[in-house]
């Protein structure tokens, strides 16, 4: 069975703290993604990675960085958390065949609150 | 860029009614996915459609991919309260960055008993 896990379901951090969100997939997928989801704004792509050590900015990368040292693991880093980064964070993975990007599988999400 | 227009945004119906959700684009997609998401959880994949004109069934859910691979629909027959949730369409268009997915804005479905 397909599995994407995220390190925490709920996190509460203080403004200015450095925050690490980790995501692990067991499907040997090349591609991994980080999204945030906010009411009324839908799913917005923060960063994605199509190979180990490769990363590309998504639509809202400001205030975030990522790391992909191993194929199965993709980390999202909030360098200095701010209250406007309070959100639901979703990790996903998918595979590519030729030029076709196949379906994404999502983790359960991390609800981050920054106070 | 909102490549996928999803409608309706909200749907509140009685148990036993039928409904259809639409996902439209002016771009051609290599594949299109439908997800259901419950509050506080990640989206769960329901189906992937790949071939133009393809129809897939999942119990009371019927998914269709348009002939030109630019649109898709989700039809639910005899909706039940357990169908309540947020339905999302998503896909990777052929002419854009082919490592990136685009999402519809979602359809929030409420099925009242």
Residue pLDDT, tens place only, A52-92:
999 999 999 999 999 999 999 999 999 999 999 999 999 99
By the CB < 8 Å criterion, does A98 face chain B? no
Which chain A residues have a beta carbon less than 8 Å from that of B88?
43
* Digit-coded pLDDT (tens) for B26-78: 999 988 999 999 999 999 999 999 999 999 999 999 999 999 999 999 999 99
- A1 CB within 8 Å of a chain B CB: no
Residue A27 contacts B where some CB pair is shorter than 8 Å: no
Confidence at residue A26, expressed as pLDDT on a 0 to 100 scale: 95
- pLDDT averaged over every residue in chain B: 93
Q: Chain B partners of A107 at a C-beta cutoff of 8 Å?
A: 42
Assess A34–B contact: CB distance below 8 Å, yes or no: no
Per-residue confidence (pLDDT) for residue B99, from 0 to 100? 66
Helix (H) / strand (E) containing A13? strand A10-13
A24-59 pLDDT, tens digit per residue, is 999 999 999 999 999 888 899 999 998 999 999 999
B98: pLDDT confidence band, cut at 50, 70 and 90? low
Strand ranges inside B1-113, DSSP E = 5-7, 10-14, 19-24, 29-37, 44-49, 55-58, 61-65, 71-76, 85-93, 102-103, 107-112
Contact B42 A45 (CB under 8 A): no
């Amino acid at each position: 069975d397909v599995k994407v896990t995220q390190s925490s379901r709920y996190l509460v951090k203080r403004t200015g703290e450095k925050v690490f969100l980790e995501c692990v997939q067991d499907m040997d997928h090349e591609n991994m993604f980080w999204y945030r989801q906010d009411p009324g704004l839908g799913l917005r792509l923060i960063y994605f990675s199509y190979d180990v050590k490769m990363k590309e900015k998504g639509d809202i990368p400001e205030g975030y960085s990522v790391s992909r040292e191993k194929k199965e693991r993709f980390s999202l880093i909030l360098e200095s958390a701010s209250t406007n980064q309070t959100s639901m964070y979703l990790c996903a993975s998918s595979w590519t065949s030729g030029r076709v990007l196949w379906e994404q599988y999502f983790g359960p999400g991390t609800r981050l609150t920054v106070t | 860029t909102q490549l996928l227009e999803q409608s309706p945004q909200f749907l509140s119906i009685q148990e036993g009614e039928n409904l259809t959700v639409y996902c439209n684009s002016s771009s051609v997609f290599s594949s299109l996915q439908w997800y259901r998401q419950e509050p506080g959880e990640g989206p769960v994949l329901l189906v992937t459609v790949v071939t133009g004109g393809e129809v897939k069934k999942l119990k009371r859910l019927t998914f269709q991919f348009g002939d030109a691979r630019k649109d898709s629909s989700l039809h639910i027959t005899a909706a039940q309260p357990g169908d309540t949730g947020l339905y999302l369409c998503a896909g990777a268009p052929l002419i854009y960055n082919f490592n990136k997915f685009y999402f519809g804005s979602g359809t929030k479905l409420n099925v009242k008993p």
